[in-house]
Chain A
Amino acid sequence: MTPFSYARANNAAEALQLGRGGAANYLGGGTNLVDLMRETIAKPDRLVDVTGLSDAITDTADDGLLIGAAVRNTALAEHPAVRTRYPMLSRAILAGASAQIRNMATVGGNLLQRTRCTYFYDTDGSRCNKRVPGSGCDAVGGFTRIHAVLGASPACVATHPSDMCVALAALDAVVHVEGAGGARTLSFGDLHRLPGDRPELDTVLEVGELITAIELPPLPFAASSTYRKVRDRASYAFALISVAAAIDVVDGEIRDVRLALGGVAHKPWRATTAEALLRGRPATEAAFRDAAIAELADARPLRDNGFKIELAKRTIVAVLGDLSGATA
């Protein structure tokens, strides 16, 4: 690790103050950043500990939830309001990492965790545009079992590794941030980027911008939502494919639906094409299948990950079927 100084912020204003200038990084639980610093992929000269920011989970005026950036992943997953009103979020968090890591990890850090592309981590042996802009991408033409099938670019085919973020994408979460220019909000879908020709940028946040909270809008039908993760072993492994879904079926017809995919792209993938096709259709397996096929129509396999395309379709159909009780 390259040397750095350490300072603790007790609130957002202090964090912004301490984070200004130089190569400062905010520090949450450290479960991703400490590892990246040890690998010399991240080389901050200053760490600003932001675990002293708000760790409160409070009801909003319109029956949504406001979640402080320093809320630990375990605390969010176990909160009664999340378990009953947004179970897909509890389930997504519980499907990720291990209990020890979830006890350390913060909401802010989970959002900004970096890809698990093995070439990104291989500082000695591999070229990576995300790590060293313009150096090339050894994943293309390499071993790509975990890589993207949607929205990738010739410059980068990495996936976003978070489970929690897939549920937040489906729930239309709002991200509260503060920076030198003041406070602003972003819709969750706008936070993470597709790689394009700037894969070094994971998100649209400005340098020094701080995540202060996540807001969940009310969504009554999310009370019967879920998250399903398909991976190479039953626990403690990143997703090959994951699906977060909520569906509102009235008299056999789909009134509304939320669907997002993990493990397929450089960002949590909100399945807007499938959602649009499903609204107003009967809740049948055939309808789910048609929507899944349409969502994956633009998917492009790499050498080793073609299986993800069919796996994503089948997982969508299975999850929507389970939630709606639909039969073939």
Chain B
Amino acid sequence: MPILVNGSAVALPNDPRVSLLDLLREGLHLSGTKKGCNQGACGACTVLVDGERILSCLALAVQYEGRSVTTIEGLSDGDGLHPLQQAFIDHDGFQCGYCTPGQICSAIGMAAEAKRGVPSHVSADLSTDVRLTREELQERMSGNLCRCGAHNGIIDAIRDTVAAELAA
């Protein structure tokens, strides 16, 4: 069984050492997904697998047989930008842009988690529905570092779009 990447079937690599990140970048030339640390510490390689955010640098591609991977290249449904991509521009959510694809994929996964009711480390009450305060967004997005320090614009962009429904 192949892997689905942005809707297209892709053959599994022959060498099980190939990470999902290297498959995307080197094998498929989808260079939007970035390699920052290659050890799980920065979030630049974040992609969505069946809608869940994961780190493609720590994922062996062979483990994802039959799963559906969405990268930054697969977010827009045509020539236009995904609303969150536009919001990053409107809110100055980046400078160099290196962390941006990971931030955007991560935020989309984060919004789905919040909608499902997944609590966070800063949730005062584990039994109630999630309200995405600024503090909640900061905690939930803490797995994505931005060395340019654009975090405030990133949080603003997320609040205006994918988190708007649950904003508090």
A contact residues around B116 at 8 Å (CB) = 78
Task: Tell whether A112 is near chain B: CB-to-CB under 8 Å.
Answer: no
Give how many B residues have a beta carbon under 8 Å from the other chain's beta carbons.
37
- Asked whether, in the complex, the Cβ of B55 is within 8 Å of the Cβ of A90, the reply is no
Query: Taking A77-B119, A78-B118, A91-B126 as contacts, is the C-beta distance between A100 and B43 under 8 angstroms?
Result: yes
- Asked whether, in the complex, the Cβ of B113 is within 8 Å of the Cβ of A34, the reply is no
Task: Tell whether B121 is near chain A: CB-to-CB under 8 Å.
Answer: yes
- Asked whether, in the complex, the Cβ of B54 is within 8 Å of the Cβ of A90, the reply is no
Provide the B32-43 mask, 1 if CB < 8 A to any CB of A, else 0: 000000111001
Task: Tell whether A35 is near chain B: CB-to-CB under 8 Å.
Answer: yes
Please, how many angstroms separate the alpha-carbon atoms of A176 and B12 in the complex?
34
- Asked whether, in the complex, the Cβ of B118 is within 8 Å of the Cβ of A98, the reply is no
Please, how many angstroms separate the alpha-carbon atoms of A4 and B63 in the complex?
14
B contact residues around A77 at 8 Å (CB) = 118-119
Task: Tell whether B16 is near chain A: CB-to-CB under 8 Å.
Answer: yes
Query: Taking A6-B62, A94-B120 as contacts, is the C-beta distance between A47 and B126 under 8 angstroms?
Result: no
User: Which stretch (B68-76, B77-85, B87-95, B136-144) binds chain A?
Assistant: B136-144
- Asked whether, in the complex, the Cβ of A30 is within 8 Å of the Cβ of B60, the reply is yes
- Asked whether, in the complex, the Cβ of A236 is within 8 Å of the Cβ of B143, the reply is yes
Task: Tell whether B127 is near chain A: CB-to-CB under 8 Å.
Answer: yes
B contact residues around A235 at 8 Å (CB) = 121, 138-139, 142
Task: Tell whether A300 is near chain B: CB-to-CB under 8 Å.
Answer: no
Name B residues whose Cβ lies closer than 8 Å to a Cβ of A: 15-17, 19, 38-40, 43, 46, 52-55, 58-60, 62-63, 106, 109-110, 113, 116-121, 123, 126-127, 138-140, 142-144
In order of increasing CB-CB distance, the 5 nearest A-B pairs are: A98-B143, A235-B142, A6-B16, A83-B126, A78-B118
Q: Given contact pairs A100-B54, A235-B138, A235-B142, enumerate 12 new A-B contacts (beta carbons under 8 Å).
A: A1-B17, A31-B40, A31-B58, A47-B16, A84-B127, A95-B121, A97-B40, A100-B109, A101-B40, A104-B54, A104-B58, A236-B142
